[in-house]
Structure 1
Amino acid sequence: MPALDLRKIWRMGLKELRSLARDPVLVLLILYTFTFAIHAVAHGVRTELRDVAVAVVDEDRSALSRRIAGAFLPPYFQPPRMMDARQADAEMDAGRITFALRIPPGFEADLLAGRVPQAQLLVDATAMSVAGAGTRQAAAILRDETAAFLGRGAAAGAPAIAASVRASFNPNLESAWFVAVMQVVNNVTILAVILSGAAVIRERERGTIEHLMTLPLRPAEVMLAKIWANGLVIVAAAVLSLELVVRGSLGVGLAGSSAFFALGAAVYLFAACALGVMLSTVATTMPQFGLLAIPVFVVMNLLSGGVTPLEAMPPLLADAMRLSPSTHFTTFAKATLFRGAGLEAVWPELAAMAAAGAIFFAAALARFRKTMAAQR
């Protein structure tokens, strides 16, 4: 079997880059995906408790109830809105408040009499990202304020051992740090599948695939040219996004090297672009390819471990997703960028991505040969 001609692969790749540069829609998609999309999602998707709307139904109207209401402070909560129970129900039904604290009559008197009064906290659990944290924070406010009111501060009942938690990465636990990096990782997958697949569909729709068959080119050389050209564009865009948007604009303190991340991204893109080419040999038009590709990269992104840990998935599903290169790329990206891990820690992920790439490339090449043969 003759060896692949690297000069032909290089020249075909340059042709792919020129073709991509002449497609303004795809160029704008790349620019948008790695700039505004990351910035908007990082600031728009928050999982920590911040500026949450809360209502207080004060039926006790005592010094203690006013003290509790005044303890709901920024940045966790908005200034509490004082209203009656009917108004609180209506506001919560309309989605304008997330928490409603009802302090019943005689709350302070029962506390001073040595009884255990109860307050009711209504939670809009559809706000999943803040419901749990807000409930814990509200419970802490009730506990601390009643203890302080009775003169039993922290010193009076301090435990013998106190836990002190320090976050080594992202010390302020800003969700934008995590969301921005994961958005870059997810966008690499999306663009890899779209650009590589669109490159093949574009050849077929424009009729240029017949011209390729008249050239002394082997299907493997055509595929490798499309993979390296589109992969190079995505790696460059991802690295620039990490430096200019994630580090620069968002101020995320990444512990790892962008150059090492680019190495892992190149290995992953070999697999993802090969997958895109394989899907393009199944579809015959861009609309068909889009309908086929969307569920593929949506599943790859949602179940890669970036949104939901693999440990939280059913065992069978978790084992199946460990066969996906996106799962290993997510693990690689988090270890490299968040913890500054080196090659000794992430080489299994690189090996798994390379193995998946070889399998996808072999399958895509078999399909691509059939496609080119059918055009003869």
Structure 2
Amino acid sequence: MLHSLKNIWRLGVKELWSLWRDPVMLVLIVYTFTASVYTSASAMPETLHHAPIAIVDQDQSPLSARISSAFYPPQFMPPQMLEWQQVDPGMDAGRFTFALTIPPGFQRDVLAGKKAELQLNVDATRMSQAFSGSGYIQQIVTAEITEFTQRHRSASALPVDLELRARFNPSLNKVWFGGLMQIINNVTMLSIILTGAALIREREHGTIEHLLVMPVTPTEIMLAKVWSMGAVVLVAAGVSLNLVVRGFLQVPIEGSIPLFMAGAALCLFATTAMGIFMATVARSMPQFGLLMVLTLLPLQLLSGGMTPRESMPQLVQDIMLLAPTTHFVELGQAILYRGAGLDVVWKPFAALAVIGAALFALSLARFRKTISQMA
């Protein structure tokens, strides 16, 4: 047993030295857990933010001025006041997403109770802004017209008072969610890439034949790759969680980071074994990359990290229970967002242990078969 542990340790150190001499992989690791996490959390807001809008005010009335002044940051950029001939060229050039036209006599028709119309042109190629921004503009215009016709700002008292309390993210800040979920996704992606690339690199460089003549077993070779590559990803995830998420993004962490790292280690045990299995199936790095695309997209999109699992078809929910990322996302959200302890997340931990053991056994059988064919 002691001799086997020494072999696993020395082979793992060899993997770390091989990774250290691969600058492309090092750059990928650094980028994935720094710039990728930061931009994913802060550079892609899902809510309306600084949407460019233009207004054609042909009425030049107090009501039209009131409507024009109702659009301001952070939802909208300060409106550009245009002539109607400038709308189409501006939309074609992509200078603004919305163009609101207020026709002549608009205020007169509103006060007279006549039918009044406004025209809103929307650049629908900017899909996220177009979808949410149209609703924002309709609400703003309706509210301003209602207050103008009532001659004062008032709020009608409703018989029911709805008290909204947002737990775990009181300000509904997308950054809090995006940064943590990107780390969870990157743990899965990099663990598969590093272990798979390590095995394929040995096959391409011919060093796998050297291992075949050494007094080591396939189990020792696999365990060495699992612990070495898993340790790299685990350390990178811990640094990113503290430096990028808690430091730069100022995201509060409610739960125990050591407990989350323990769950990440279990997930890494499963995903690194998955990476070795895919590397035994693929014959080259391009084939491995294609398998990565087919594997990572379902793991990330259907694990519950982007959309709630309850919104998915029941068949998809049942199938994804076999994926390690489903349980990793569940325990990660529970620990980091809601401060859950082991008494709450023991089921995902147990599921990850079972899935990891099954994937390791499957990958080991495939790895042994591959080695025997090479011998």
Per-residue CA deviations over 1:210-249 (Å, capped at 9, x if unaligned) read: 2222222221121111101110110110011010011101
Whether the 8 Å contact between 1:45 and 1:179 is mirrored in structure 2 is no
| Counterpart secondary structure, 1:166 | coil
Task: State the shift of 1:54 in Å.
Answer: 1.0
Aligned to 1:167: 166
Name the structure 1 match of 2:4.
Answer: 5
1:371 counterpart = 2:370:
yes
Q: Report the Cα distance in structure 2 between the residues aligned to 1:218 and 1:3, rounded to whole angstroms.
A: 14
1:203 maps to 202
Deviation for aligned residue 1:276: 0.3
Structure-2 separation of matches of 1:141 and 1:62:
17
Instruction: Report 1:347-366 matches (<5 A).
Output: 347-366=346-365
Aligned to 1:136: 135
| DSSP-derived class of the 1:55 partner | strand
Structure-2 separation of matches of 1:64 and 1:207: 78
RMSD: 2.2
Distance 1:160 1:115, change over 3 A: farther
Pair 1:279-2:266 in alignment: no
2: CA distance between counterparts of 1:156 and 1:245?
43
Q: What are the superposed Cα offsets for residues 30-51 of structure 1, whole Å, 9 maximum, x if unpaired?
A: 1111112212232221112111
Mapped partners of 1:156, 1:238: distance in 2? 49
CA drift of 1:160 comes to: 3.0
Corresponding position of 1:54: 53
Distance 1:156 1:313 in 2: 39
The question of whether the paired residues in 1 share the 8 Å contact of 2:147 and 2:154 is answered with no
Could you say if the C-alpha distance between residues 159 and 89 of structure 1 is closer, same or farther in structure 2, counting changes exceeding 3 Å?
farther
Q: Output the amino acid matched with 1:172.
A: S
Other-structure match for 1:187:
186
* 2:296 corresponds to 1:297: yes
Residue range with higher mean Cα deviation, 358-367 or 287-296 = 287-296
Question: Is the CA contact 2:195–2:226 (under 8 Å) kept in the aligned structure 1?
Answer: yes
Residue 145 of structure 1 is matched in structure 2 by 144
Equivalent position amino acid for 1:194 in 2: I
The worse-fitting range, judged by mean Cα deviation, of 142-151 and 70-79 is 142-151
CA distance in 2, matches of 1:146, 1:11: 75
Alignment CA distance shift 1:156-1:326 (3 Å) = closer
> Could you list the per-position Cα deviations for residues 127-157 of structure 1 after superposition, in whole angstroms to 9, with x for gaps in the alignment?
3333343233222212321232233655352
Equivalences for residues 112-127 of structure 1 within 5 A: 112-115=111-114, 117-127=116-126
Verify the 8 A CA contact 1:48 1:174 in the aligned structure 2: no
Counting only pairs closer than 5 Å after superposition, residues 290-369 of structure 1 correspond to structure 2 as 290-369=289-368
Q: Distance in 1 between matches of 2:306 and 2:123?
A: 22
Give structure 2 stretches of 5+ with no counterpart: none
In 2, Cα distance between equivalents of 1:92 and 1:4:
71
> 2:77 corresponds to which residue?
78
What TM-score results when the alignment is normalised by the length of structure 2? 0.92
* Amino acid aligned to 2:348: E
Greater alpha carbon shift after TM alignment, 278-287 vs 289-298: 289-298
Note the 1:88-127 alignment, pairs <5 A.
Answer: 88-115=87-114, 117-127=116-126
Contact 2:56/2:100 (8 A) holds in 1: yes
Q: How does 1:25-44 map to 2 (within 5 A)?
A: 25-44=24-43
State the shift of 1:342 in Å: 1.6
Determine if contact 1:193/1:297 at 8 Å carries over to the other structure: no
> Which whole-Å CA distance do the structure 2 matches of 1:60 and 1:54 have between them?
18
Instruction: Report the AA paired with residue 204 of structure 1.
Output: R
Deviations 1:255-279 (A, max 9, x none): 2222111111101011110000001
| In structure 2, distance between residues paired with 1:158 and 1:93 | 45
SS in structure 1 at match of 2:337: helix
- Between the aligned partners of 1:202 and 1:40, the Cα distance in structure 2 is 31
Query: Which 10-residue stretch deviates more, 250-259 or 308-317?
Result: 308-317
Structure 2: which amino acid aligns with 1:291? L
Return the letter of the residue paired with 1:27: L
Query: How far 1:334 sits from its partner (Å)?
Result: 1.7
Number of residue equivalences: 375
Query: What's the offset of the Cα at 1:194?
Result: 0.6
Q: Deviations over 1:19-69 (max 9, x none)?
A: 222222212211111112212232221112111111222232211011001
| Paired residues of 1:147 and 1:153 also in contact (CA < 8 A) | no
Contact kept, 8 Å, 2:195 with 2:275, in 1: the verdict is yes
Aligned to 2:267: 268
Alignment TM-score, normalising by the size of structure 1? 0.92
Note closer, same or farther for the CA distance 1:353–1:125 as it changes in structure 2 (3 Å cut): farther
- SS in structure 1 of the partner of residue 348 of structure 2: helix
- Within 2, Cα distance between the matches of 1:332 and 1:152? 54
- The offset of 1:330, in angstroms, is 1.7
- Tell me the CA shift for residue 359 of structure 1: 2.0
Moved over 4 A (4+): none
Distance 1:197 1:346, change over 3 A: same
- The amino acid across from 1:81 in the alignment is Q
**Does structure 2 conserve the Cα–Cα contact (< 8 Å) formed by 1:45 and 1:176?**
no
